[in-house]
Amino acid sequence: MGGNRSNRMTTRFLMIVLSIADSAVLLVAVLRYWTMRVLKWDPRLIGPTACKLHTFSVGCSTDYAVGALCALAVERLLVVAFPHKANSIVNMCSVTFGMGGFGLLVVAKNMLIFWLVGSTKPGISDKTNMSLPIRIGTSDCTPLPEYRQIFKIFTKVDLVSFAVLPYIILFSSNLFIYVKLRNQQALLRRAKPKSPLSRLRQSIREEGQHPVRNEPLSSDGKAITNTNRLQSIISRSGTDKRTKRRPDGVIKLLTALTLIHVICTLPGTLFTFITSYPKNLVSIRKDVEELLKSGLVMLVFTNNAINFFGYYASSTAFRESFCGMFRCDWHKSVCQQRLFNHCGCRCVKHKQISGSEFVQLVVTPPGVKVASTRPTERERNVANSQGSLKESPQRIIDAKVDSFQE
């Protein structure tokens, strides 16, 4: 995910919270539609208490799932906007406190359902033009007559908190992150030094024109010096590439989740706004309206079911970990990725005589010490010196330049 380890932990925590909230929506809301179609039974028709409780559960789970997605966007926004203060602003304590406070706010808002909703009727009630927001489903739980005006205000506030406000947060956060990263990349391109290959050739020319301390060097000595300088430049260029860590993976994942949320919820939001709030804006037959509403409700709940495919398509680490679960050598890949340091295996990095690195996986029981197979410093120096003295200086330089170009 890039960035500081504490920031990566907060991102993982928010993604876990989002997954749990999505699962709760599917189990509470979608399961009701399944029982209605398969078992011909609606749990809301058990009684007023069951209807209120189910409506309250659906409202809390959907609100919290949307809030978790917005929290993920705000967390990435703070990390990108304030990189030097991110560790103090975004940490596990602040994120946990924020999500807990948001959960209490969601519960307090949806508690009004127990106060405003009264009777329970099968199907759609024809006594009122107002219904619950499209995310709650059919209006089996009808508002009490004395609270009808308050219920209208509640539905408008609910629509703003469920749809309008998250759209503003997600779009503004993603836009700011995109502009910020593009500006940083533009600055890096303008301030980027010469390419490693140009620096390599220039250093070779300078080495040949300006000997150190004006001391004459033999051909073998020049070969060793040039080889060491080549290896130093190549290693520095590789280090620069490794230390270039940016939250590109998380940004891609956040963008994918935002697009999924907008595509799945925007049609239902517009339909609810057009058919409910403006007076006589459109005229739709009742059966056609209910048919369209049922399809849009399913599309809204698809937002909670399709996030897994968003993870899989946009996150390389998630894709590799998920595919690795179905391989027999999954524990080896986990050890190589250093996901679990307490497993009974060790990832040992060696450096060959030629200078290239390879990783050897040593599987041992926990607590058993194994002698290191790493070559000693003296053996590597002797091998490098012998290999350098056997070849001419120009041949070594040409070989290193060709290998660097490849």
3 state DSSP class of 141: strand
Domain definitions of the chain by residue range: 5-187+256-324, 196-243, 330-405
Q: Residue 70: in which H helix or E strand, if any?
A: helix 48-81
Q: What mean pLDDT is reported for the chain?
A: 71
Packed helices 92-110 and 5-25: angle between N→C axes, nearest 10 degrees: 20
347 DSSP β-pair partners: 361
Cβ pair 269, 277 in contact under 8 A: no
**Model pLDDT for residues 152-168, shown as the tens digit of each residue:** 888 888 888 888 899 99
Query: Between 404 and 94, whose confidence is greater?
Result: 94
376 secondary structure, DSSP code = P
- Give the count of beta carbons closer than 10 Å to the beta carbon of residue 385: 13
Structure-token pair, residue 194: 């010469």
Query: Between 310 and 124, whose confidence is greater?
Result: 310
**Model pLDDT for residues 99-114, shown as the tens digit of each residue:** 999 999 999 999 988 8
CA angle 325, 317, 87 (to 5 degrees): 130
Structure-token pair, residue 169: 């947060």
Question: Largest Cα–Cα distance in the chain?
Answer: 103
Cβ pair 90, 72 in contact under 8 A: no
| CATH 1.10.1060.10 for the 5-187+256-324 domain, yes or no | no
**pLDDT band of 308, cuts 50, 70, 90:** confident
pLDDT value at position 20?
Answer: 92
pTM, full prediction: 0.63
Structure-token pair, residue 45: 């028709």
Highest mean pLDDT among 171-175, 240-244, 345-349, 363-367: 171-175
Q: How many CA atoms lie within 13 A of 298 on its CB side?
A: 7
Cβ pair 77, 176 in contact under 8 A: yes
Give residue 203's identity as a one-letter amino acid code: S
Integer Cα distance of 86 and 301 in angstroms: 34
**Model pLDDT for residues 68-100, shown as the tens digit of each residue:** 999 999 998 888 888 888 788 888 999 999 999
Cβ pair 73, 254 in contact under 8 A: yes
